[in-house]
């Protein structure tokens, strides 16, 4: 199918994008277009106006600021996959990026677009929650920060208001001895995952975090997860997976169970 007739406005800066979004309640920002483009073609999205933010330098690039990485929302998956930047996550960003879709999609799709689109199976939604990231958001009332774990509210729903723009993704640096694992199950390479489990353990900061994702809604984040003690036992893992808070339905529970065992093996270094 073809998209409905819409117009495109190029934003000249972030404030201008916010203003344009505020002026038209049926306007939407567009970054890499790799999710919105498909939604437009399928007419699942029917905006009157699309605000093109892809030229905004303030939303590009990637730097380390004291103890965190500050990633511009327009950084593409391919750029992260190629790893030619100062990395404070011990390779986790590159690993996650390489597993998203296909190279032709990764060359255009952005980390910010993926987060704002908030597909329950999106990789950056899960990975930024596991890394304990924080998002900078600019809107009509100024700027604010939201923790990754609080950002997504349900499938394709976030705390972004209509005229808000995501302006940065802040990822805390992992310590030298930190360990991470990111596992997902896809029926076919590059397809959205049916199950995602990720773990991050950092002795220096005392983080021991476990994330389940590709659920019905937002990811579930468990702090002090007991990856080294309780969860070493299959029985304890089953109790966790059966917990209503996770609400993993039917056959997916078996997929998450398998991935959880792999994550624990990765983190304990027994994989």
Partner 1 sequence: MSAHLEFPESHTVTFRLHVNGEEREVSAEPRTHLADVLREHCGLTATHLGCEQGVCGACTVEIDGVPQRSCLQSATRFEGREIRTLEAFENDPLGAALRRAFSEEHALQCGYCTPGMLITARDIVQRLPQADEARIREELAGNLCRCTGYRGIVRAIQRVLETYPHESSDGR
Ligand X SMILES: Cc1cc2nc3c(=O)[nH]c(=O)nc-3n(C[C@H](O)[C@H](O)[C@H](O)COP(=O)(O)OP(=O)(O)OC[C@H]3O[C@@H](n4cnc5c(N)ncnc54)[C@H](O)[C@@H]3O)c2cc1C
Contacting residues toward ligand X, per CB under 6 A: 28-38, 53, 73, 100-101, 105, 109-110, 112-114, 116-117, 122-124, 160, 165-166, 192
The C-alpha torsion from 163 through 169 and 170 to 175, rounded to 10°, is 160
Q: Where are the beta strands (DSSP E) in the chain?
A: 7-10, 27-30, 49-52, 62-65, 68-71, 134-139, 142-147, 152-154, 157-158, 165-172, 179-185, 195-202, 207-213, 220-222
Q: What angle do CA 59, 30, 188 make, to 5 degrees?
A: 100
Q: How far is the CB of 38 from partner 1 (least distance, A)?
A: 4
- Looking at residue 76, the DSSP 8-state letter turns out to be B
- In the bound state with partner 1, the residue whose beta carbon lies nearer, of 191 and 230, is 191
Can residue 38 be called a binding residue for partner 1 (CB under 8 A)? yes
Q: Which of 215, 219, 222 is nearest to 250 (CA)?
A: 215
Partner from ligand X, partner 1, none contacting 147, C-beta within 5 to 8 A by type: none
Q: Does 194 bind partner 1 (CB under 8 A)?
A: no
Closer residue to partner 1, CB minimum distance, 78 or 207: 78
Q: Are 261 and 268 in contact (CB under 8 A)?
A: no
Cα separation, 116 vs 139, in Å, equals 14
Among 98-106, 141-149, 207-215, 252-260, the segment contacting partner 1 (CB under 8 A): 98-106
Binding partner 1 (rule: CB under 8 A), the pick from 63, 102, 154, 224 is 102
Q: Which does 40 bind (CB under 5 to 8 A by kind): partner 1, ligand X, none?
A: partner 1
Least distance to partner 1, CB of residue 81, Å: 11
Q: In terms of CB distance, is 85 or 192 closer to ligand X? A: 192
96 binds partner 1 (CB under 8 A): no
Site string for partner 1, 145-184 (x = CB under 8 A): ----------------------------------------
Q: How far is the CB of 183 from partner 1 (least distance, A)?
A: 17
Euclidean distance between CA atoms 93 and 14, whole angstroms: 25
Closer to partner 1 at the Cβ: 38 or 239?
Answer: 38
Helices marked H in the chain: 14-23, 36-41, 77-82, 92-98, 103-106, 111-117, 123-130, 148-151, 234-242, 252-268
How many other C-beta atoms are found inside a 10 Å radius of the C-beta of residue 246? Answer: 15
Tell me if 7 contacts partner 1 by CB under 8 A: yes
57 touches partner 1 by CB under 8 A:
no
The only residue of 13, 16, 24, 54 in contact with partner 1, by rule CB under 8 A:
54
Interaction site with partner 1 (CB under 8 A): 1-8, 33-34, 37-38, 40-42, 50, 52, 54, 78, 101-105, 107-108, 188-190
């Amino acid at each position: 199918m073809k998209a409905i007739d819409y117009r495109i406005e190029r934003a000249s800066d972030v404030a201008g994008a916010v203003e344009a979004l505020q002026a038209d309640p049926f306007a939407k920002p567009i970054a890499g277009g790799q999710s919105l483009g498909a939604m437009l073609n399928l007419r699942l999205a029917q905006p009157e106006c699309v605000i093109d933010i892809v030229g905004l330098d303030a939303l590009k690039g990637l730097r380390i600021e004291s103890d965190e990485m500050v990633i511009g929302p327009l950084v593409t998956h391919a750029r992260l996959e190629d790893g030619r930047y100062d990395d404070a996550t011990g390779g986790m960003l590159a690993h996650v990026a390489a597993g998203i879709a296909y190279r032709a999609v990764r060359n255009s799709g952005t980390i910010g677009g993926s987060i704002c689109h908030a597909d329950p199976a999106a990789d950056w939604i899960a990975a930024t929650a596991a890394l304990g990231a924080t998002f900078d958001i600019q809107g009509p009332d100024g700027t604010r920060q939201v923790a990754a774990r609080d950002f997504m509210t349900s499938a394709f729903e976030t705390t972004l208001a209509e005229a808000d723009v995501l302006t940065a993704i802040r990822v805390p640096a992992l310590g030298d001895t930190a360990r991470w694992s990111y596992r997902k199950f896809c029926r076919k390479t590059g397809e959205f995952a049916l199950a995602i489990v990720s773990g991050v353990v950092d002795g220096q900061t005392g983080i021991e975090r476990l994330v389940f994702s590709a659920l019905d809604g937002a990811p579930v984040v468990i702090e002090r997860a007991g990856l080294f003690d309780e969860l070493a036992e299959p029985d304890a893992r089953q109790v966790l997976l059966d917990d209503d808070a996770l609400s993993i339905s039917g056959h997916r529970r078996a997929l998450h169970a398998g991935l959880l065992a792999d994550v624990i093996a990765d983190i304990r270094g027994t994989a």
